[in-house]
């Protein structure tokens, strides 16, 4: 890409380029420079770029340009553009990126996904919106109810199409695409272009132009990869050491139950952590992500729901507590760090029985990782995650008061209704009920453990986040807090049986799997 390339030189209307410039965005990324001339010209486009490569603007800009130039007016229940994405978080993120660009053009939008009540969505559709950004499940529900039609859609976008294939959404995606006009423009963007989405490309894209802005395998050049060969019994202690280092960390587990359990263990040991997985209601997801964005939680423990499209600035460390099953997931998980040209470190914890799987995983991913056999106290821990180890106290959710029978923006759905990207398990209630294991915790936590040099004893003092409710000192219980999150002291041990962050789950609720 030429250094002289600008958004106006690619054909982006001045009104949109001005908004971008005001936000400090003046130089297109490779995927944007490659695709914008064709997509702005109305061509169907198949674009591939790694996570963090700027795919969102690559489809938002031509979509808004087309709608602004069009003569069709806004009509009830009849959107003019459709964006499909696999998860609620990604839908919300696309909306956040698009809103400042759409507002000056008078273009309205609506997010549609499960985990929240559908009545506000139905009401907004009845009033009329220009762009619908949706997860497939809830969108199909509303289509079947007659809350909207797609016969007026001029532009259809599939974002993270391969991830939708991996999650089993393709049958629903095809049913939705069948309801959009054949003459409409289709833009498909993905981190990989493989056999999983070939059927979509062949069936719905007309003479598409394909652009691949980077290698599907090569990792970000500023990303350092490490494999830590640990004894299974030392796995949690190593995680506690790494997550008590300064900076934001994202830790990935393979299962929802594993994410919930690990978040509790970290909080019980004084590391402020939040969880993100499909068993959380939308209210709990929003609160947890807000705590991570705002710095109240230094660690996000997540399943692969967070591996795609979720952007948080300044994540210094990604830890695969459970190695992913396949190499694409490894690359997408790892892409939470080393974004926008920043450095980042990726660590995979590997036990004896995982050696062959991890070797195959890294080979397929095309990465070279340094393998170190270690335990707590090894100097490599301080090298990859430098800084003083501090345990200020875990997070305890103070659930906001809600009307009876409500849970985080919507009651559990029953029957065959779907909730889009990652609904709560049937019968679970999250995001607004009573806390399990709540209240202040006593005991010294794991403050006495050694973690290389600079380990604090008894939990050293660190400035608390906004509204944190206090700091840990000598294992004494903390005072209360009226904010959504507060810190509390750990109870010691690593079993996770002590009181810990509960994401507002109701007592007796079915545990996440």
pTM, two decimals, is 0.61
Q: Is the pLDDT of residue 85 over 50?
A: yes
Mean pLDDT of 433-452: 36
Residue 416 within a domain: yes
Based on the domain organization, do 311 and 422 belong to the same domain? yes
Average of per-residue pLDDT values in the chain: 77
Based on the domain organization, do 232 and 170 belong to the same domain? no
What pLDDT was estimated at residue 495?
39
The H or E element spanning position 172 is helix 170-177
Based on the domain organization, do 172 and 241 belong to the same domain? no
Q: Which residue has the higher pLDDT, 162 or 444?
A: 162
Provide the token pair at 431: 């995001």
pLDDT band at 8 (very low <50, low <70, confident <90, very high): very high
Based on the domain organization, do 73 and 149 belong to the same domain? yes
Range of the domain at 376: 223-488
Q: Mind listing the pLDDT tens digit for each residue in 172-189?
A: 999 999 999 999 999 999
What pLDDT was estimated at residue 477?
33
Residue 498 within a domain: no
Based on the domain organization, do 440 and 307 belong to the same domain? yes
Residue 188 within a domain: yes
What pLDDT was estimated at residue 330?
84
Based on the domain organization, do 231 and 368 belong to the same domain? yes
Q: Mind listing the pLDDT tens digit for each residue in 237-258?
A: 999 999 999 999 999 999 999 9
Q: Is the pLDDT of residue 461 over 50?
A: no
Based on the domain organization, do 232 and 202 belong to the same domain? no
What pLDDT was estimated at residue 163?
81
CA distance 472 to 246: 16
Residue 239 within a domain: yes
CA distance from start to end of the chain? 46
CA distance 289 to 231: 32
Mean pLDDT of 35-54: 88
Based on the domain organization, do 329 and 455 belong to the same domain? yes
Residues ≥6 apart with Cβ < 8 Å to 386:
245, 246
What pLDDT was estimated at residue 308?
62
CA distance 466 to 18: 34
Based on the domain organization, do 127 and 34 belong to the same domain? yes
Based on the domain organization, do 475 and 342 belong to the same domain? yes
Based on the domain organization, do 65 and 165 belong to the same domain? yes
Q: What's 39's domain CATH number?
A: 3.40.50.300
Highest-confidence segment of 123-132, 284-293, 360-369: 123-132
What pLDDT was estimated at residue 508?
33
Provide the token pair at 1: 């890409």
Q: Strands of 100-175 (E only): list them.
A: 109-112, 131-134, 155-159
Q: Mind listing the pLDDT tens digit for each residue in 382-414?
A: 999 999 998 877 776 544 434 333 333 333 333
Residue 503 within a domain: no
Residue 509 within a domain: no
Look at the chain and report how many structural domains it folds into.
2
Based on the domain organization, do 174 and 319 belong to the same domain? no
What pLDDT was estimated at residue 322?
94
DSSP for 422-462 reads SPPPTT---SSSPPSS-S---S-TTTT---STTBPSS----
Residue 496 within a domain: no
Closest CA to 89 of 383, 347, 304: 304
Residue 508 within a domain: no
Last residue in a domain, options 187, 212, 237: 212
β-bridge mates for residue 349, sequence order: 228
- Among the ranges given (125-134, 264-273, 318-327), the one the predictor scored with the smallest mean pLDDT: 318-327
* Rg (the chain; Cα; Å): 23
């Amino acid at each position: 890409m030429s250094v002289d390339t600008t958004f106006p030189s690619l054909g982006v209307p001045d009104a949109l380029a001005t908004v971008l410039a005001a936000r400090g965005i003046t130089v297109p990324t490779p995927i944007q420079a490659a695709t914008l001339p064709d997509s702005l010209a109305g061509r169907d486009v198949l674009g591939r770029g790694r996570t963090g490569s700027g795919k969102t603007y690559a489809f938002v800009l031509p979509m808004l340009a087309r709608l602004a130039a069009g003569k069709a007016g806004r009509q009830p229940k009849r959107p003019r553009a459709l964006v499909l994405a696999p998860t609620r978080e990604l839908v919300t993120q696309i909306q956040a990126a698009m809103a400042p660009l759409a507002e000056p053009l008078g273009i309205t939008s609506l997010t549609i996904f499960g985990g929240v009540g559908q009545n506000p969505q139905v009401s907004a559709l009845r009033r009329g919106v220009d762009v619908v950004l949706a997860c497939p499940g809830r969108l199909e529900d509303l289509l079947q109810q007659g809350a909207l039609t797609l016969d007026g859609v001029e532009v259809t976008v599939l974002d993270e199409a391969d991830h939708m294939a991996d999650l089993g959404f393709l049958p629903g995606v095809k049913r939705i695409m069948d309801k959009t006009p054949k003459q409409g423009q289709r833009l498909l963007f993905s981190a990989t272009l493989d056999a999983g989405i070939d059927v979509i490309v062949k069936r719905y894209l007309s003479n598409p132009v394909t652009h691949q802005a980077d290698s599907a395998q090569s990792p970000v050049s500023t990303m350092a990869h490490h494999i830590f060969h640990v004894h299974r019994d030392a796995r949690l202690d190593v995680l506690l050491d790494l997550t008590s280092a300064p900076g934001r960390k994202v830790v990935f587990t393979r299962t929802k139950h594993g994410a919930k359990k690990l978040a509790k263990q970290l909080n019980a040991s004084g590391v402020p952590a939040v969880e993100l997985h499909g068993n959380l209601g939308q209210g709990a997801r929003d609160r947890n992500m807000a705590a991570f964005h705002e710095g109240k939680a230094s660690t996000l423990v997540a399943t692969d729901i967070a591996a795609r499209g979720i952007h948080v600035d300044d994540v210094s460390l990604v830890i695969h507590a459970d190695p992913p099953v396949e190499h694409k997931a490894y690359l997408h998980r790892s892409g939470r760090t080393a974004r926008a040209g920043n450095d980042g470190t990726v660590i995979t914890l590997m036990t004896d029985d995982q050696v062959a799987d991890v070797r195959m995983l890294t080979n397929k991913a095309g990465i070279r990782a340094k393998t170190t056999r270690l335990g707590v106290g090894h100097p490599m821990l301080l090298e990859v995650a430098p800084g003083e180890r501090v345990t200020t106290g875990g997070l305890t959710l103070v659930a906001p008061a809600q009307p009876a029978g409500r849970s985080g923006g919507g009651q559990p759905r029953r029957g065959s209704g779907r909730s889009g990207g990652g609904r709560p398990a049937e019968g679970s209630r999250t995001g607004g009920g009573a806390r399990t294991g709540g209240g202040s915790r006593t005991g010294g936590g794991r403050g006495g453990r050694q973690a290389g040099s600079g380990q604090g004893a008894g939990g050293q003092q660190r400035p608390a986040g906004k509204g944190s409710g206090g700091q840990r000192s000598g294992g004494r219980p903390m005072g209360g807090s009226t904010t959504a999150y507060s810190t509390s002291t750990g109870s010691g041990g690593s079993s996770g049986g002590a009181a810990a962050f509960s994401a507002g789950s109701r007592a007796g609720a079915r545990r996440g799997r």
